[in-house]
Structure 1
Amino acid sequence: MGLSIISGWFPVLFLVLGILALVALLVDRGRSWWLRRVPIAVLAAAAVTAVAVWFTDGVWHPFADDLPPTAVVWIGLTLVALALAVVRRGRAWVRVLAFVGVLVVGLAGAVQVNRSFGDYPTLAALLGEPLADQVDASDVLGTGTSAVSQSGDAPLTSVWTAPSGLADKGRVTTSPIPGTVSGFQAQDAWIYLPPAYAATPRPLLPVLILLAGQPGTPRNWFDGPNLAGTMDAYAAAHQGIAPVVVVADWLGEDANANPLCVDSAAGGNDFTYLSKDVPDWIRANLQVDPRPDRWAVGGLSAGATCALQLATNAPDEFPTFLFFSGQLEPTLSDRADTVNTLFNGDEDAFRKINPADIMKTRTFPNTAGMFAAGASDTEYGPSTKTMSEAAKAAGMQVQYQTVPGAHDFITWGECLAASMDWLGTRLDITG
């Protein structure tokens, strides 16, 4: 189950099989095959692909971003394969094999698209198998053990010493976080608890709330970006101490929806859920440092945009944030669609929650943010840089960096790892 499906022999094998299947679908001796059926199949597939892309990107808008080139290419190739199978003539077994070839091309495409994003790095991730250190929530939730807190601004590593025999890995669990105040219906949150959380007495640890992209689920942070591995590595260098990480769901029960982290009639009370219900639940169910200046919020892609919305609209609750490959503003497909769908056409209402507009009129001397993106991300790399400059102009303490990679989950894992020393200092884990 730990087999990598984004590196090594697996994606290469499926690429070769997909190409061979497509070549086999093209093979035929008949003159009419090459002069009539193949051109008709290719043209039909191209037309359907163009319509599908136009409808998805221009009408349906299930994602804030357009379909990536890799997905468009493999959609087209799969439709070419399907069209070739449909127009093929011959015995029944030949036609059955042709449709098997279509399946192979489709699977090859799915593997290559997944490879480009790094969404599901292993078979275990693809099949939704439990993580290696996953435990039942009843084993870890609750606040009934003794704890060591910091005195003033002393680093946490200076007031707590790890006991002998402390585990070298943290634990992962899941739990619903009800929308008690907001009424928002969310998927279960995924939670990482560092080794120090299992100690008695435990230190009162800082909190990091993370948000996935759209479409996405909280588990995304644990698969491609390897959140648990990054936190375990940080904890290993700091006496078992790392932030308690709560990956909260901001999309709701439909992972393809996009409520944009605002309170609206169309999307639900998303902002209230994230700024009120989630923090209240954490403080009531996890034994952590309750002070907001020991908390941070962060996200990747559209989740990064959401994190900046929280930092600018609720700066007292979220004075520290991580912004990885985010957008210039919260968006469905464009400004007009966003304003009409979620703000009833009220442009002023949108500006009141839009970080870029807020940072033009307010200053945030007590807020600090880490902005990071992949060096090869030609769209969201520049937008991340632009937002970092806007945040700095608004008085925030800003860090900006690039890491190798593009707009994918592996890159966001690198962004998180590269941010940990800064975040640990900001949250007073270290001096």
Structure 2
Amino acid sequence: MRQWLMNVSLVEGWLPTVVFAIAVTLAVTLLVGAIGGRNGRDGRSGRIRLIVLPLVAAAISGAAGYTLTWLLSDVFVVFGVGLGPRVMAWAGVGFAAVGFAATHIALRKGMMRAAAALLVVSAISAVAIGIDQSYGEYATIGSLFGDDSYSQANLTGLVKRKNLIPVSQWRRQVAGDAIRNIPLNGTVSKIDIPAAESHFKARKALVYLPPAALAKGKLKPALPVILMMSGQPGSPGRAFQAGGIQTMMDGYAKDHEGLAPIVIAADQLGDDSHNTLCVDSKVYGNAFTYLTRDVVDWVKNNLPAAQDAKDWAIAGFSQGATCSLQIGVNHPELFGTMIPTDSEIGPTNGTRQEMIDRFFEGNAEAYESQVPVNAIRDHSPAQQTLIMGAGEEDATSVRNIRTIAPVAAKAGMHVTAVESIGNAHDWYAVQDVLRYGLAVFGYDTGLSGVRPSLSDYPNLKRVSV
């Protein structure tokens, strides 16, 4: 029963429908009751008061809620990013519903007052679900509590390097029926990656193994790898669930002889409340060494993973996108491709000076080396591939693309900058960008023989830089 409850969807299905229906039903009940109810000695004037005052309160409260959210989002930018019009609209609806209900609580008695009180609770719940649907952040009830349905596995020593064959050879053998019994779908497992060098206190990672990695037989294809990071707050489970990783990769594998990248969602935070800046520091530990040494080395030594930088990509959302840029451009010997979505302009946890003092022990040069545009210039020329995206309605992130992408192109990188149409700073934008990035990465690494065209992805448009 508990597991069933934890797997109930917050973004689709019966729960959002029921919550929305309850809120609408209560609001209609109060309005209809005011129109047709008895109002004692006040008669007609009393009915008008019960109709007009709650509606006026709703209009004023809704406008105030929308305006406040807009100011916080787009004027003062207190969240660091724009929230997008859908979230602002939901905030307006929530304030309107509460204003409507509060007026009825003040004017009504008995059952109608109780219904108004229930409307406050149901409206807040409905708005919370609506905002979550706008972001796609929490896919299930369990994800609210860091719970997921992925099982623990021990993948240490899953394959030996001597048993790896090139992807091209694998494709030829599949075409010649030399390899059979390829599973229809890949698997996702929760794993412990030892922090042998970094001693970073990371949460469990998630690993997706495509069907080709699970086929019977001693020989395995040396598969490309994507290192994926969530935003902050976030977790490896959030990256997989909100990012739709398994569905996306299984869909790709079905069209490519069971081939798809291995995807590792590693923990760059240690805790939802931590923003490590993806650096080694005394504040939260050695996040950088964990990602670039412990995680990379473990994957290469234990999974059917390709060894060359050209076969490795690093990707992420929001803070994780910033990390993917920092690490990717500073370490072309590890990653040939970067796929950040809704990246910040640079590491962000306090003011510039606060970060220098707190995370870099007063070394301004060390901080500046982690700002993507600086790192790109420092490592120019570069032959890496950068697929950089943002939600169309996330003005801050789109502006960041227009700052970073030209610098990368000038440095010699193969740059594609895109916007996810109709989306903002959310996981829907991540899915759009990552789907295209997967196609490009798959072609570059030999998983596919078809060069992808941006025109085949109608949810994306090119950013003019």
Range of TM-score over shorter length = 0.7 to 0.9
Whole-angstrom CA distance in 1 between matches of 2:291 and 2:147:
27
SS in 2 for 1:353: coil
Displacement of 1:426: 2.5
Change (3 A) 1:399 1:53: closer
Cα deviations across residues 285-334 of structure 1 (Å, max 9, x unaligned)? Answer: 32322333321111122211110101122221223211222122121355
Residue range with higher mean Cα deviation, 282-291 or 231-240: 282-291
Structure-2 residue corresponding to 1:177: 193
Structure-1 residue corresponding to 2:157: 142
Whole-angstrom CA distance in 1 between matches of 2:279 and 2:206:
22
The answer (yes or no) to whether the contact 1:156–1:430 under 8 Å persists in 2 is no
Change (3 A) 1:172 1:341: same
Task: Indicate yes or no: 2:317 matched with 1:312.
Answer: no
TM-score, normalised to structure 2's length? 0.75
Whole-angstrom CA distance in 2 between matches of 1:335 and 1:216:
23
Change (3 A) 1:76 1:206: same
Structure-1 residue corresponding to 2:23: 18
Structure-2 residue corresponding to 1:369: 386
Structure-1 residue corresponding to 2:409: 392
Whole-angstrom CA distance in 1 between matches of 2:109 and 2:314:
60
The answer (yes or no) to whether the contact 1:22–1:105 under 8 Å persists in 2 is no
Choose which of 393, 418, 429 in structure 2 pairs with 1:411: 429
Structure index of larger Rg: 2
Structure-1 residue corresponding to 2:309: 292
Trace 1:219-230 onto structure 2 (pairs within 5 A): 219-230=237-248
The answer (yes or no) to whether the contact 2:360–2:366 under 8 Å persists in 1 is yes
Task: Indicate yes or no: 2:231 matched with 1:213.
Answer: yes
SS in 2 for 1:114: helix
Change (3 A) 1:126 1:343: closer
Displacement of 1:198: 0.9
The answer (yes or no) to whether the contact 1:143–1:286 under 8 Å persists in 2 is yes
5+ residue gaps, structure 1, are none
The answer (yes or no) to whether the contact 1:155–1:430 under 8 Å persists in 2 is no
Amino acid at match of 1:118: G
Trace 1:197-212 onto structure 2 (pairs within 5 A): 197-199=213-215, 200-201=217-218, 202-212=220-230
Cα deviations across residues 61-93 of structure 1 (Å, max 9, x unaligned)? Answer: 7x54366525643664576478558756745x6
Displacement of 1:213: 1.3
Cα deviations across residues 173-200 of structure 1 (Å, max 9, x unaligned)? Answer: 1112233222221221111000011122
Structure-1 residue corresponding to 2:179: 163
Cα deviations across residues 229-272 of structure 1 (Å, max 9, x unaligned)? Answer: 1111211122111111101111212x132111122222322212
Structure-2 residue corresponding to 1:263: 280
Choose which of 82, 86, 92 in structure 2 pairs with 1:73: 92
Cα deviations across residues 157-181 of structure 1 (Å, max 9, x unaligned)? Answer: 5455372221111001111223322
The answer (yes or no) to whether the contact 2:388–2:401 under 8 Å persists in 1 is yes
Amino acid at match of 1:397: H
Structure-1 residue corresponding to 2:262: 244
Change (3 A) 1:314 1:144: closer
Task: Indicate yes or no: 2:120 matched with 1:115.
Answer: no
5+ residue gaps, structure 2, are 40-45, 450-465
Amino acid at match of 2:183: A
Q: How many residues are matched?
A: 423
- The two structures, once aligned, show a CA RMSD in angstroms of 4.0
Residue range with higher mean Cα deviation, 413-422 or 32-41: 32-41
Structure-1 residue corresponding to 2:342: 325
Percentage of pairs with the same residue: 28
Amino acid at match of 1:149: L
Displacement of 1:209: 0.6
Amino acid at match of 1:418: Y
Amino acid at match of 2:11: I
Amino acid at match of 1:18: A
SS in 1 for 2:228: strand
Whole-angstrom CA distance in 1 between matches of 2:54 and 2:421:
45
Change (3 A) 1:232 1:103: same
Whole-angstrom CA distance in 2 between matches of 1:257 and 1:215:
8
Residue range with higher mean Cα deviation, 341-350 or 184-193: 341-350
The answer (yes or no) to whether the contact 1:135–1:173 under 8 Å persists in 2 is yes
Change (3 A) 1:342 1:53: farther
Whole-angstrom CA distance in 2 between matches of 1:325 and 1:403:
10
Structure-1 residue corresponding to 2:209: 193
